[in-house]
Amino acid sequence: MPELPEVETVRAGAADHLLGRPIVTVEVLRDRSVRRQEGGPAEFTALLTGRTLDAAVRRGKFLWLPLRGPDGAAEDHALLVHLGMSGQLLVTGAGENPHLRVRLTFADGGQAWFVDQRTFGYLTVADLVPTPDGGPGGLGAAPGPAEHMLPAPVAHIGRDLLDPLLADPAGPGRADLIRRLRRGRRGIKRALLDQTLVSGIGNIYADEALWRAQLHYDRRTDTMPRAQVAAVLEAAAEVMRTALAAGGTSFDSLYVNVNGASGYFDRSLNVYGREGLDCPRCGTPIVRESFMNRSAAFCPRCQRRPRRR
């Protein structure tokens, strides 16, 4: 599943290529891809036709594009994009794709495609609501009426470590997150994957962050000193920034940016997908265990299993 760096790569591409271009036609080729739209494809089409995408904003793995109406006024809803497992948002102008689900055509003749082989992703036009903490909706929020708004389906999602309010390791947002993490009584990886607490960290980057911080995934957060929690969060931020610089992580053709290019961070993974291979730090074979219907990869020497109480 695309994680935060992959979605941020798509968001940046959307900001470069999709904004300010009036939408003249909307084609829904697979109803399932707009299944979250209460009024179905007809409502989805009506709410987008004639509108202009005004900004590209991301919180965690959710991306949204606030809308301006035909009269140029900001509207109180946005196009919400969730890539699911295989969703792609592509900028193109010609050709066909067997997995094309939604096609937007702009006044200049260009097109944006939502391509989704496994159809777990979706698009919907959602109402904007004020952010619970009064801050900007997310990374990429532009000054204006929608700056402190976010789509209603995203209101419960926590901020992510690249968010303007959490990005500073010494800032008040990061300090509050550390306090909330330490109040829990669960394993650190389970906490990192809680999208209501801190969003955007998925299985790949949680394993990589814990390897960098030399912590076992089952270490309970209430037993961790503040400095140790801070180190894990910064490791997670660092691994995502590194992945973002590489364009994200691609294991097959299902993740690409808006121009169709794959990411290359998979070449820098230290533990994820490396079961049985030597730990890059100490040479001990990497272990993979079942975890929350997924898996956890770690070095048994660098990341000692905590003692059971």
Q: Last residue of some domain: 154, 185, 220?
A: 154
Q: Give the residue numbers annotated as catalytic, written as ranges.
A: 2-3, 61, 294
Q: Which two tokens stand for residue 129?
A: 């609501």
Distance between CA 284 and CA 88 in Å, rounded?
37
Q: Same structural domain for residues 11 and 86?
A: yes
User: Domain count of the chain?
Assistant: 2
What pLDDT sits at residue 265? Answer: 53
Give CA torsion, residues 218, 224, 230, 235, to 10 deg: -30
Q: Same structural domain for residues 22 and 132?
A: yes
Per-residue pLDDT of the chain (309 residues; tens, 9 = 90+): 577 888 998 999 999 999 999 999 999 999 999 999 999 999 999 999 999 999 999 999 999 999 999 999 999 999 999 999 889 999 986 778 999 999 999 999 999 999 999 999 999 999 999 999 999 999 999 999 999 999 999 999 999 999 999 999 999 999 999 999 999 899 999 999 999 999 999 898 899 999 999 999 999 999 999 999 999 999 999 998 988 887 655 434 444 454 544 444 565 789 999 999 999 999 999 999 999 989 999 999 999 999 875
Q: Which of 33, 42, 200, 18 is nearest to 124 (CA)?
A: 33
Q: Same structural domain for residues 193 and 119?
A: no
Q: Same structural domain for residues 117 and 241?
A: no
What pLDDT sits at residue 250? Answer: 41
Q: Same structural domain for residues 261 and 122?
A: no
Q: Last residue of some domain: 154, 186, 220?
A: 154
The CATH number that applies at residue 248 is: 1.10.8.50
The CATH number that applies at residue 107 is: 3.20.190.10
Query: Following DSSP, what letter does each residue of 199-241 receive, concatenated?
Result: BS--HHHHHHHHHHHT--TT-BGGGS-HHHHHHHHHHHHHHHH
What pLDDT sits at residue 246? Answer: 76
Q: Same structural domain for residues 240 and 178?
A: yes
Residue 309 lies in a domain: no
Are 9 and 257 contacting, i.e. CB atoms less than 8 angstroms apart? yes
Q: Same structural domain for residues 271 and 194?
A: yes
Distance between CA 43 and CA 74 in Å, rounded?
19
Instruction: Note the pLDDT tens digit of each residue in 171-213.
Output: 999 999 999 999 989 999 999 999 999 999 989 889 999 999 9
* 283: amino acid identity, one letter: G
Are 9 and 89 contacting, i.e. CB atoms less than 8 angstroms apart? no
Residue 150 lies in a domain: yes
DSSP SS3 for 65? strand
Residue 8 lies in domain: 4-154
Residue 308 lies in a domain: no
What pLDDT sits at residue 263? Answer: 45
What pLDDT sits at residue 244? Answer: 85
Residue 10 lies in a domain: yes
Q: Same structural domain for residues 116 and 74?
A: yes
